[in-house]
Amino acid sequence: MRFFNLLIVGLVGSLLLWGTMDFPRWADPNAPASRHVSPYYLEHAIDDMEVPNVVSAILADYRGYDTMYETVVIFCAGISILLLLRVGETAYMKKRSLKIRLVRRNPILIIACRILFPAIVLFALYVIAHGHHSPGGGFQGGVILGAGFILIALAYNMHIAIVIFYPRLHRFIAALGVTIYSLVGLICLLLGGNFLDYSALSKILPVSPAEARSLGILAVEIGVGFTVMAIMFSIYADLSTRGRLRRGL
Amino acid sequence: MLETFTARYYYLLVIFLMMLGLWGMISKRNLMKKLIAMTIFQSAIIFFYIASGVKRGAAIPIIEHDHTKINPDLYHNPLPHVLMLTAIVVGVATLGVALALLERIYDRCGSIEEDEIIRKLEE
């Protein structure tokens, strides 16, 4: 059986290797993948929307639909984990009090967490807000924000993290992110443009169409950041406590 | 022969990683190990796409502020970056769903070994 598996893997691998014989050389500027749409994006991103980071420009504007549904996929994944695992919420959250039980933990860990958490949040907001001009954007910033809350859950305990970022709040924020994204698209539609065509926003904002597209990208990235942050924390909370939302790691 | 190899050795590495994942997925009996193998498989695909966007002598796809005429050959292809950016985050979310399913399976059957789950289900 083991030999048979190795045979299949070897066969598939050699077929794929044979297939790469026709592939372009690595790092070839004339490779077909780099010849068709991407030069258009690179040449027109600045003129179209004044966003130097072409990755953000494609992510939120040229391929806005794609990213919108990616956000919906993440939202759905978070909701399905919630449905699969979460059991202890109602009984536990009713007696949610602000009397935080401080379990005796390592003080070095607690102090390091206190110093690091504001820095992590600040950096995450920078990554989201500056995603037009430097590497970054909603997905990355959202994950960093979520990591900040996970750090609290790890350094203190799950109870404190849940009191700060309680289940109703993180569900609301996850839904809010998707709503922001689709509302921006809908507003563009109502103003006479296409769905997610942010240049229509220049009719209600005192900016040129190109700058309106840049602002639209920012709004959409904030929505993505919200959803990703809430879902990352919710996944961690559910998986590490098997849905009971207490004790944890 | 050597020339073809040096121009394409990157594909060799990616396919090696991919086959490692495939082998793990089909021959390991533990569902957790299968999941790890699936993640390795996924990383191989992400590496492959990112590699297809590389251009020799180019910079990251962020246009400089004092540019004059934009030459696309001086910036990496941004399209694979965008596609893989979303693929990574969605990959994490789906991995979470898989882990949640695994915990449910463990609750129900008391094991994540394939043959023990089958024995439990047949009872």
Residue of chain A whose alpha carbon sits nearest to that of B29: A2
Question: Does residue A90 have a pLDDT over 70?
Answer: no
Mean local confidence (pLDDT), A179-199? 91
Q: Is residue A249 part of a domain?
A: no
Of B8-17, B68-77, B114-123, which gets the smallest average pLDDT?
A: B68-77
Question: Does residue A247 have a pLDDT over 80?
Answer: no
Domain that holds residue B88: 2-60+73-122
pLDDT at site A249 = 67
Q: Mean pLDDT, chain B, as a whole number? A: 88
Q: Mean pLDDT, chain A, as a whole number? A: 86
Instruction: Write out the two tokens for A228.
Output: 């990703």
Q: Is residue B65 part of a domain?
A: no
Q: Does the CB of B58 have a partner CB in chain A at under 8 Å? A: yes
Q: Is residue B66 part of a domain?
A: no
Q: Is residue A7 part of a domain?
A: no
Mean local confidence (pLDDT), A237-242? 87
Q: Is residue A46 part of a domain?
A: no
Mean local confidence (pLDDT), A240-247? 79
Q: Is residue B67 part of a domain?
A: no
Secondary structure string (H, E, C) spanning chain A: CHHHHHHHHHHHHHHHHHHHHHCCCCCCCCCHHHCCCHHHHHHHHHHHHCCCEHHHHHHHHHCHHHHHHHHHHHHHHHHHHHHHHCCCHHHHHHCCCCCCCCCCCCHHHHHHHHHHHHHHHHHHHHHHHCCCCCCCCHHHHHHHHHHHHHHHHHHCCHHHHHHHCCHHHHHHHHHHHHHHHHHHHHHHHHCCCCCCCHHHHHHCCCCCHHHHHHHHHHHHHHHHHHHHHHHHHHHHHHHHHCCCCCCCC
Residues of A in contact with B86 (CB under 8 A): 59, 66-67, 70, 139
Domain that holds residue A74: 53-241
What confidence category does residue A187 fall into, taking pLDDT thresholds of 50, 70 and 90? very high
**Distance from C-alpha of B34 to C-alpha of B16, rounded to nearest angstrom:** 17
**Nearest chain A Cα distance for residue B103, angstroms:** 7
Number of domains forming the structure of chain B: 1
Question: Does residue A89 have a pLDDT over 70?
Answer: no
Residue of chain A whose alpha carbon sits nearest to that of B54: A27
What confidence category does residue A184 fall into, taking pLDDT thresholds of 50, 70 and 90? very high
Residue B49: CATH number of its domain:
1.10.287.3510
pLDDT at site A99 = 54
Which residues have CB under 8 Å from A188's CB, separation 6+?
A194, A195, A196, A197, A198, A200, A201, A216
**Distance from C-alpha of B98 to C-alpha of B93, rounded to nearest angstrom:** 9
* B82, B79, B7, A21: CA torsion to nearest 10: 100
Q: Which residue has the higher pLDDT, A231 or A31?
A: A231
Question: Does residue A235 have a pLDDT over 60?
Answer: yes
pLDDT at site A230 = 94
Q: Is residue B39 part of a domain?
A: yes
pLDDT at site A42 = 87
Could you tell me how many CB contacts below 8 A there are between chain A and chain B?
164
Q: Is A29 within 8 Å of B51 when comparing Cβ atoms? A: no
Q: Is residue B49 part of a domain?
A: yes
What confidence category does residue B84 fall into, taking pLDDT thresholds of 50, 70 and 90? very high
Q: Is residue A135 part of a domain?
A: yes
Q: Does the CB of B4 have a partner CB in chain A at under 8 Å? A: yes
Number of domains forming the structure of chain A: 1
Residues of B in contact with A50 (CB under 8 A): none
Q: Is residue A15 part of a domain?
A: no
What confidence category does residue B31 fall into, taking pLDDT thresholds of 50, 70 and 90? very high
Q: Is residue A226 part of a domain?
A: yes
Q: Is residue B68 part of a domain?
A: no
ipTM of the complex: 0.88
Of A70-79, A152-161, B9-18, B81-90, which gets the smallest average pLDDT?
A: A152-161
Mean local confidence (pLDDT), A14-37? 84
Q: Is residue A213 part of a domain?
A: yes
